[in-house]
Structure 1
Amino acid sequence: MTTQFYDRLSNDFTQLLESGVNCDVSIEVGEVSLVNIYKVHSIILQSRSPYFKKKFDEITFNENHVKVLKLPNISVKEFSVIIKYVYSGEISLEKLENSVIFDLLIASNELELDELVEYLQSYLVNDNSSWLILNFAQVYRTSYQVKNFKIIRDFCNNIITKHPNTIFESENFHSLPEDALISILKQDNLQLEEGKIWEYVIEWGKAKNPTLPTNLDKWTSDNFLSLKKTLKECLPHIRYFSISGEDVVEKIYPYQQLLEHQLFSDINIKFITPSKSISSIVLPPRKILNETLPSRIISIPLSSSIISNEHALEISSWIDRKEIPYIENNPYEFKLLVRGSRDGFNVKTIYNKRDKVSKTIIILKVKDTHEILGGYNPLDLENNNDQWKKTKDSFVLSLKNANMKNSILSRAFDSNSTIGNLPSDLELSFGHNLRLIGNLKNEKRCYCMKSNDYSKPIYSSEFILSPFCLLSGKYFFSVKEYEVFKISPRK
């Protein structure tokens, strides 16, 4: 029997890394302003990774007998995890945000650490699928740009076949790589009508040819030829003979110049005389699981100038404490109660408009930074009663937008977490993590603070007020717009 002492081996190699003894390689990680230098041993790194073996063979020793390798595309945080794994075989992800773990996956692939690449993919799919879905377009596009991401790519394909709108209705659909789109079109169980699939393919092709006339009546033969060349690899995967007669007339006929003459002729023959034989290849119909197919995400009657339908789905998922967020068919209705530009920006207005109303959410667009902050309150607000109310179901948030890569959810720690119902002081507060005071637009008195009421800060770190620092104007903000919604189950 063989006895293995991996723990001791791991510990000894970790100490070797920390000691810096006999290091012959210097690795500079990060951008110019945030460079960190790691002193490492070439023999260990090249035995663990083909990438390092190739690089060290290419690099010559400097006058200090050290090889210098620069990795500007990998952050210090990512490389610190990687180098510990290389030496010790250990990795800890608990304190890392999912966005960092995804970047760590990309960096591990670049360094050809195949074991780590497989582990990180499985970790994200099995334990953090909700983050993958919320960032679906980015994740799916990356999974096709990086061929080793098979686990994530399979996960994404499974989501798409069941919920095709996650990609087809995404704002990033037009930037989808061709091979990714073809992979979707090949799916036999894609849950979407064939006529709708044809429309999406045409839409994608047009986006690749932005100079095409908007009005189809003005298209020339050259215009059709350009689109045909763009869609050359996609068109063979459309199940033409599964398209309904109505869709053939309305959707195929206007673009008949995209199809080969024999195929278009056979489509007509099948449409007119279904039993007649044809020479074109007939792909099998897709395996539709539901009789009623979703063609588009069911729109929420959302009257908002701040948040999108995607934001509303994300908020609804948080209310229901869903590990995997809603991606369509929002179970809640967001009824607008108050809007700053319509009703006024004084906090007293909020109390007047939602007196005795429970299950509401306030959404703010911060002036200058354009961050979207907010808080969910499951309790009644009372217009004539100052008190700090306790609840374990409230939360504060920061929503992703053009300037914010990921949304932040900060839940109440426990049943002692508070919401400040303070109409006399013109204040509405979620603990100290989000405090709204006075006239939200004209007075710069709102602020966020680190506190024990909610799990994490939601505002830009440079503007988070510490409980121990003096009140300073730099920590306060005003609001460009705010909205308050009543959250009710959809009928």
Structure 2
Amino acid sequence: MTTKFYDRLSNDLTQLLENPVDYNVTIEVGEAPDNQIFEVHSYILQSRCPYFKKKFNEIPSIENNVKVLKIPNISVKVFNVIIKYIYGGTISLEKLETSIIFDLLISSLELDLDELVEHLQSHLITNNISWLKLNFAQVYQMSYQVKNFDIIQKFCYNIIAKHPDIIFESENFISLPEDALITIIKLDNLQLDEDKIWDYVIQWGKSKNPTLPANLNEWTSDNFVTLKTTLKNCLPYVRYFNISNERVLEKLYPYLQLFEPKLWLDINTRLIIPDKSISSTILPPREILITTLSNIITDEHALELSSWIDRKETTYTENNPYEFKLLVKGSRDGLDVKTIYNICDKVSNTIIITKVESTGEIIGGYNPLEINDGEDEWYSSQDSFVFSLKTENLKSSILSRVTDFDYAIRYYSGPSNPWLQFGNALNLGGDLKTKKSNCELFAYEKSIRSNSNRFSIEEFEVFKVSPKK
């Protein structure tokens, strides 16, 4: 049996770094005035780091047989971590900002420190998901440019598949390289309707040709040839045979000249005679996840609501920390505010979700207080909020937190015309199928609807929100 004294070895080598007896290399790191010179030993660096092994063979020794190396693109703070890892095989990340850890990852890759690259990727995925999402464009760009970032890359594609808006609705979308866009639209589990994917592909192609006319009716045959040439490598990955008849007419037909005649014939053949055989390749439908949480909101909506409850700067992307227990469904239990008081009396931490008739808006409110089936009274809260969730017609959700705490929540469960109010920002009254509810700006920071007209509700749900065990 072999006994290994790694701790003592690590400590002794670290001490050699702090007291560099017989050093034979100086490395100047960073740029003035924040630069620093490290005195190190070539035999340790060459044995631990392929980059230095190659580099030291390229540079000559100067006076006293000391080699001089400059690395201006790595900061002193980052190199301090790296050199301690090289000497002692240890690394401490707890006190480092996430941005520094990400810079450390990039520098470790440049220095061919494969072991450290893998460790830092795993650390970021495990401990710094919020930062990764907040800086997603930077992280994703790095992940597809670098082959060794397999763990980060897998994380990015998982996020994009579940939450495609994070890339398609970002300012950086049109600057995506072609190969990155193709990788995304090839994802089998991309949670987007196929006609929306088509829209984004067209948008990307147009952005590469800014001289194309804005009005499609003004396009010439040459304009279509230009766009077709730009998109020639992307178009094969759109799953045309999974687009509905209506969308084919609305979205594809205006761009008829982009299609090869045989493919266009097959698309129409499949729509008119579904069982007729065709020669074009039919890609399988995407694996769209079906949520069982609600008839109104998606799992993505629930993650967003949970992040607001926790006052997170970035939205949870997976592993929702809260359980949403459905207490009331209007279509099942009755579309009247009185139903909420009857079922949810003395229940705290509730979210009310409503779907507005005709417009499809999804609006609601979070109430941390106990619902009180009693007299007309205002209750104070610092944590309640109202919201309008992202839909096809609303690109970004709206969050509005309470500002006048004393008028956060109002309960009135009287026999006629009961009300439940979040200030005046969301007023739910009586029979919700009639036009009695409205939203006005009072006690909360912003409006969640574009107008204050009264509206009726076609469906509502109330959830009890509890931390998962």
Normalising by structure 2, we get a TM-score of: 0.66
Q: Take 1:246 and 1:293, find their aligned partners in 2: how far apart are those partners? A: 24
Superposed displacement of residue 232, structure 1 = 2.0
Residue-pair matches, total: 345
Q: Gaps (5+ residues) in structure 1?
A: 299-312, 336-354, 362-375, 383-482
Shift of 1:357: 7.0
* 1:317 paired to 2:307: yes
1:377–1:275 Cα change, 3 Å: closer
Partners of 2:70 and 2:38 in 1: how far apart? Answer: 10
Amino acid at match of 1:131: W
Q: How does 1:183-332 map to 2 (within 5 A)?
A: 183-290=183-290, 317=307, 319-320=309-310, 325-326=315-316
Partner of 2:345: none
Identity %: 63
Q: For residues 66 and 11 of structure 1, what CA distance do their matches in structure 2 show?
A: 25
Distance change (3 Å), C-alpha of 1:356 and 1:107 = same
* Match of residue 440 from structure 2: none
SS of the equivalent of 1:26 reads: strand
Residues 381 and 406, structure 2, Cα contact 8 Å, conserved in 1: yes
List per-residue Cα deviations over 1:424-479 (Å, max 9, x = no partner). Answer: xxxxxxxxxxxxxxxxxxxxxxxxxxxxxxxxxxxxxxxxxxxxxxxxxxxxxxxx
- 1:145 and 1:14 mapped to 2: Cα distance? 34
Shift of residue 123 of structure 1?
0.5
Q: Label 1:323 to 1:154 Cα distance change in 2 as closer, same or farther (>3 A).
A: farther
Matches within 5 A, 1:64-463: 64-290=64-290, 317=307, 319-320=309-310, 325-326=315-316, 358-359=382-383, 380=405
Which amino acid in the other structure matches residue 109 of structure 1? L
Deviations 1:188-233 (A, max 9, x none): 1111111111111111122222222211122222322222222222
Is the CA contact 1:130–1:325 (under 8 Å) kept in the aligned structure 2? yes
Q: State the shift of 1:90 in Å.
A: 0.5
CA contact (8 A) 2:382 2:405 kept: yes
Deviations 1:285-342 (A, max 9, x none): 11222279999x98xxxxxxxxxxxxxx69x73642669734699x79899xxxxxxx
Q: Is the 8 A contact 1:360 1:485 kept in 2?
A: no
Corresponding residue of 2:48: 48
- The alpha carbon displacement at 1:164 in A equals 1.5
Alignment match, 1:304: none
Q: In 2 relative to 1, CA 98–274 (structure 1 residues): closer, same or farther, beyond 3 Å?
A: same
Larger radius of gyration: 2
Deviation by residue 1:118-156 (Cα, 9 ceiling, x = unmatched): 000000111221221222222112110111111011111
Q: 1:487 to 1:87 in 2, by over 3 A?
A: farther
Q: For residue 347 of structure 2, what is the aligned residue in structure 1?
A: none
Alignment partners' CA distance in 2, 1:256 and 1:195:
15
SS of residue paired to 1:153: helix
Q: 1:207 to 1:293 in 2, by over 3 A?
A: farther
> Amino acid of the residue matched to residue 187 of structure 2?
Q
- In the alignment, the residues of structure 1 paired with residue 119 and residue 111 of structure 2 have an alpha-carbon distance, to the nearest angstrom, of 15
Deviates most, 6-15 or 57-66:
57-66
The correspondence of residues 463-474 of structure 1 with structure 2, limited to 5 A, is none
Q: TM-score, normalised by structure 1?
A: 0.63
Q: Whole-Å Cα distance in 2 between the matches of residues 50 and 176 of structure 1?
A: 32
2:287 match: secondary structure: coil
Q: Counterpart amino acid of 2:251?
A: K
1:23-62 residue pairs with structure 2 within 5 A? 23-62=23-62
Partners of 2:45 and 2:52 within 8 A in 1: yes
Aligned residue type for 1:141? Q
What is the CA distance between 1:41 and its match in structure 2? Answer: 1.3
SS in structure 2 opposite 1:87?
helix
- Could you tell me whether the CA contact under 8 Å between 2:160 and 2:167 is conserved in 1? yes
